């Protein structure tokens, strides 16, 4: 049975039993405490917790999920995957244990011919919480399981909670027995891999508090509404129904594995190490495909870092199998074809997905090349010294250059040296500890979302700001320092929830409004406006005058100038996006935006920097659209109708069944957008592109000033031009030529000065040779030359001196001071050795390191020529003395 067919049967089964079919939410979770959607229940948490009233009594979904906490186990076990799909059925105070158990048994054991999954009862086991007599009785009633295959387990395995005060309850897990050839008898209680968990039924029935651990908490009582949350692992059921050994061999994953094997010239099943690599590749390519399809792009932090790590692990595994070049163009189309049956969007957006993935692979291959050079130098040094490659070097390669430790170990082993893994592991742990501490600190700064539960239960906040800037409302609730309060007093920072508001809450790239909330005897400045939970707008304010109380009448006042600027910038973002696509083609998708009064920032998919001509063209098209005074029309409609009209759904954004469509110039710019906008494009005033930069391997960023801010920018540039033309006494038309001429003259003068400095230094060769002395076994020149033009001048002089000493064991050590520009002067030391000196064991690299250490810096190089530097000019004499002592010894 194909994976997509299991998917279809699940939704069909529960839809026929009164469940609303809910499409999968994005992998990018709305929950601010989660990076990704990590379980099928995540999108339903507001309903399960009672935070938000459920829009339906029962629901079902097949949810896309990403988990990377067990990434090191991927490929090694039959069922660890980073991307997986969780089939779930949910009840929000509707049915409870009896129906949940009955539905599960019916779907699993009904024959395939009758629409079920066709499991044999003899292959199934269940576990229940040891004290849940009700669940045990219901399994006996609704299934044909014998008592010995209904096993009682403790809280550590069969009791569910969030780990925080709130809803919790016992759970019942369903397992498939793979057979005696896969392990020992005894059922799931043995915790043997023979028994594969395929479904978990959570009976959310209690309110818990004083949570100390997973098994140590206080049950306060039963919830007023008992909920059902279940999850069936689609991949696990698929590999059982398809008769394969693991999830990597199912129909949605195996094609990538086979293609990777073919590219690498390997045979799956022939070598355990290669099999693990091929499974990692198949899993991570699919995960990358799905993450990019939901709008994630590679970066060095957050979600983007996780995606980058997955993609780079694919490159690494391919490299470890001998594939040194690019392979994503072979692998990603295969994953697209395997997944598009369940998720058509991966085919529709594959042009974007492939550009992002291929660009990241290209970038990492360059990173690998530079990392290998650094590692080869470290390996050579370790070989010479008969030591291991330093652990801090391995960590630097991993942390700064993205160079995987596995590749470091392999290259070092090929050269016959080891790596100090103990130090590497220690440094990695320190980094993890810092990250955990930072995450804990950030978590501690967030208010407990449960404080908004009661407020959200009063209804959804109504936004009236599309049509008015002032609105009279009522204070529904106040939160001070994360705790509900009845009042907020003068000078306090508080969060205020109103029944209605004309103040825009930050969303869709548009920053929140500025303004005031005023009432009888109080006035509060609005510092921020956010949607704390879906449907609830929270105003962070500073109370300027008086006291704000719950139930008080309150009037919201939007700062009209700020709103005007914000709408100009938001509409300007749409116009720049349309201009980008007109110039660069439809492959240029918006990949994020931010706009506020006077400023807009637009991220878009494109792999190359824009030329000056291209930027000018985009700017001109944008301003021509403003001059054309296009009408800006907003309409609400079903999402299917909007898409049929050609409206762009921005990449990675989430939309409901009804959407707001914004037209500028009709179909020229037609996007789904909930933000505030101007009435006509001429109201935007002016757009001035001020920068275009890279923000990732396949993403660029345009920043623009808008309206009066754009005008002021042009005015400031005009003033600069006027000052230059006046100071240089040239007409504006000749200004560029005059500046270029001055630059050329300055460069020529600098070249003449450098030549004179070099000649001056070269003239000192006889003098320095005359002062050469016997130090140890070498004739040695040791000299502090004072201020020099550059390290290159010292290097040239050192090589000239070495040439004059080439017939004997000669050592040249020159030090000097280089001007530090705006900062302090910097000391530098150059060392050069002749062949006979090197035969005697004197190496320039060792000399440079020794001198640099005294100078407070670092250095090194080849045995014949090396350089070091530092920060303390006053230590030059001490450094030369230390080098003299070393050479003498």
Distance CA 792, CA 702 (A): 39
Distance (Å, whole) CA 698 – CA 757? 46
What is the Cα–Cα distance from 448 to 451, expressed in whole angstroms?
A: 6
Residue 570 counted as an annotated binding residue? yes
**From start to end of 1-57, where are the E strands?**
20-21
Residue 681: partners with Cβ closer than 8 Å, 6 or more residues away? 571, 575, 625, 626, 628, 629, 630, 631, 632, 664, 665
Crossing angle for the helix pair 3-15 and 234-241, to the nearest 10 degrees: 120
| E strand residue ranges, 665-809 | 669-672, 687-696, 699-706, 773-775, 778-788
Q: Which helix (H) or strand (E) holds 221?
A: strand 218-233
Q: Looking at the chain, how many residues does it have?
A: 889
Which of 371, 364, 355, 257 lies closest to 315, judged by CA?
364
Contact 503, 556 (CB under 8 A): yes
**Residue for token digits 């009633």?**
141
Alpha carbons 172 and 444: distance in angstroms, whole number: 33
Taken in order 45, 50, 52, 55, the sign of the CA dihedral is positive
820, with CB counted inside 10 A (0-12, 13-18, 19+), is exposed
Measure the CA–CA gap between 550 and 541, rounded to whole angstroms: 15
Distance CA 148, CA 186 (A): 9
The answer to whether 489 is a known ligand-binding residue is no
DSSP track, 695-708: EETTEEEEEEEETH
Radius of gyration of the chain measured on its C-alpha atoms: 34
What tokens appear for 875 in the block?
A: 């230590």
- Rounded to 5 degrees, φ, ψ at 186 are 125, -5
Is 7 labeled as ligand-binding? no
Within 234-344, strands assigned E span none
H helices then E strands: how many in the chain? 26, 33
Q: DSSP letter at 672?
A: E
Helix (H) or strand (E) holding 170: strand 166-177
Q: What is the number of other CB atoms lying within 10 angstroms of the CB of residue 807?
A: 9
CA distances to 104, 111, 858 from 121, rounded to whole Å, are 12, 11, 70
Tell me the angle at which helices 391-399 and 350-385 cross, rounded to the nearest 10 degrees. Answer: 160
Please check if 19 is assigned to a binding site.
no
Q: How far apart are CA 750 and CA 819, in angstroms?
A: 15
Which residues line the annotated binding site for Zn(2+)? 570, 574, 673, 677
Which residues line the annotated binding site? 570, 574, 673, 677
């Amino acid at each position: 049975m194909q994976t997509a067919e299991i998917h279809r049967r699940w939704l069909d089964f529960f839809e026929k039993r009164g469940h609303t079919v809910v499409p999968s939410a994005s992998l990018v979770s709305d929950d601010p405490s989660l990076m990704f959607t990590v379980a099928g229940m995540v999108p339903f948490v507001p309903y399960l917790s009672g935070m938000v009233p459920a829009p339906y009594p029962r629901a079902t979904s097949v949810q896309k999920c990403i988990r990377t906490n067990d990434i090191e186990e991927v490929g090694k076990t039959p069922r660890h995957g980073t991307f997986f799909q969780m089939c779930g059925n949910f009840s929000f105070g509707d049915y409870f244990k009896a129906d949940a158990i009955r539905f599960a048994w019916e779907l699993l054991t009904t024959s395939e011919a009758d629409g079920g999954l066709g499991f044999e009862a003899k292959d199934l086991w269940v576990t229940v919480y040891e004290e849940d007599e009700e669940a045990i009785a219901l399994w006996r009633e609704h299934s044909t399981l014998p008592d010995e295959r209904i096993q009682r387990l403790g809280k550590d395995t069969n009791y569910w909670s969030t780990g925080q005060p709130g809803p919790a309850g016992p759970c019942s897990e369903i397992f498939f027995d793979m057979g005696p050839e896969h392990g020992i008898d005894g059922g799931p209680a043995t915790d043997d891999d023979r028994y594969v968990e395929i479904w978990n039924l959570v009976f959310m029935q209690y309110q818990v508090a004083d949570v100390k651990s997973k098994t140590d908490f206080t049950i306060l009582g039963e919830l007023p509404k008992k909920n059902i949350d279940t999850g069936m692992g689609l991949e696990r059921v698929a590999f059982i129904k398809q008769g394969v050994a693991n999830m990597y061999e199912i129909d949605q994953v195996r094609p990538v594995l086979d293609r990777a094997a073919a590219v690498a010239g390997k045979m799956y099943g022939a070598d355990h190490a290669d099999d693990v690599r091929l499974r990692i590749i198949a899993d991570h390519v699919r995960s990358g495909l799905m993450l990019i399809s939901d709008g994630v792009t590679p970066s060095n932090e957050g979600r983007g870092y996780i995606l980058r790590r997955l993609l780079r692990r694919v490159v690494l595994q391919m490299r470890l199998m001998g594939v040194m070049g690019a392979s994503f163009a072979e692998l990603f189309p295969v994953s697209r074809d395997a997944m598009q049956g369940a998720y058509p969007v991966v085919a529709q957006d594959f042009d974007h997905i492939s550009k992002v993935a291929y660009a990241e692979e290209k970038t990492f291959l360059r990173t690998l090349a530079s990392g290998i050079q650094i590692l080869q130098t470290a390996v050579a040094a370790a070989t010479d010294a008969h030591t291991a490659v330093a652990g801090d070097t391995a960590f630097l390669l991993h942390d700064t250059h993205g160079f995987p430790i596995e590749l470091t170990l392999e290259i070092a082993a090929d050269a016959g040296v080891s790596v100090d893994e103990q130090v590497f592991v220690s440094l990695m742990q320190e980094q993890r500890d810092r990250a955990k501490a930072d995450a804990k600190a950030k978590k501690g700064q967030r208010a407990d979302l449960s404080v908004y539960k009661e407020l959200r239960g009063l209804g959804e906040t109504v936004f009236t700001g599309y049509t008015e800037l002032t609105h009279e409302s009522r204070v529904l609730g106040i939160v001070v320092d994360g705790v509900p309060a009845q009042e907020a007093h003068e000078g306090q920072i508080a969060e205020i929830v109103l029944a209605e508001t004309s103040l825009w809450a930050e969303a869709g790239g548009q920053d929140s409004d500025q303004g005031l909330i005023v009432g009888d005897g109080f006035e509060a400045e609005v510092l921020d406006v956010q949607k704390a939970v879906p449907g609830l707008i929270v105003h962070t304010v500073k109370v300027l005058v008086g006291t704000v109380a719950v139930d008080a009448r309150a009037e919201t006042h939007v700062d009209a100038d700020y709103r005007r600027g914000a709408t100009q910038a938001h509409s300007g973002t749409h116009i720049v996006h349309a201009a980008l696509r007109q110039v660069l083609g439809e492959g240029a998708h918006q990949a994020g935006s931010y706009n506020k009064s006077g400023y807009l920032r637009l991220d878009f998919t494109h792999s190359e920097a824009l030329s000056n001509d291209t930027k000018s063209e985009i700017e001109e098209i944008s301003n021509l659209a403003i001059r054309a005074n296009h009408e800006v029309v907003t309409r609400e409609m079903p999402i299917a109708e909007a898409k049929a009209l050609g409206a762009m759904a921005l990449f990675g954004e989430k939309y409901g069944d009804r959407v707001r469509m914004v037209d500028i110039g009709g179909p020229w710019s037609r996007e789904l957008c909930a933000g505030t906008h101007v009435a006509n494009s001429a109201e935007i005033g002016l757009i001035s592109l001020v920068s275009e930069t890279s923000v990732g391997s396949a993403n660029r960023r345009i920043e623009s000033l808008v309206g009066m801010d754009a005008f002021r920018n042009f005015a400031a540039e005009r003033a600069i031009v006027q000052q230059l033309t006046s100071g240089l006494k040239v007409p504006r038309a000749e200004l560029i030529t005059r500046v270029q001429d001055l630059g050329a003259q300055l460069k020529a003068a600098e070249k003449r000065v450098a030549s004179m400095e070099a000649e001056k230094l070269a003239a000192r060769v006889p003098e320095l040779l005359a002062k050469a002395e016997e130090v140890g076994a070498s004739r040695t020149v040791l000299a502090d030359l004072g201020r020099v033009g550059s390290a290159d001048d010292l290097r040239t002089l050192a090589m000239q001196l070495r040439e004059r000493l080439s017939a004997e064991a000669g050592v040249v050590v020159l030090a000097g001071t280089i001007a530090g520009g705006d900062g302090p002067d910097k000391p530098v030391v150059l060392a050069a050795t002749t062949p006979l000196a090197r035969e005697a064991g004197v190496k320039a690299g060792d000399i440079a390191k020794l001198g640099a250490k005294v100078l407070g810096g670092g250095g090194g190089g080849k045995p014949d020529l090396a350089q070091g530097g530092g920060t303390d000019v006053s230590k030059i004499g001490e450094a030369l003395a230390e080098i003299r002592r070393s050479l003498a010894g």
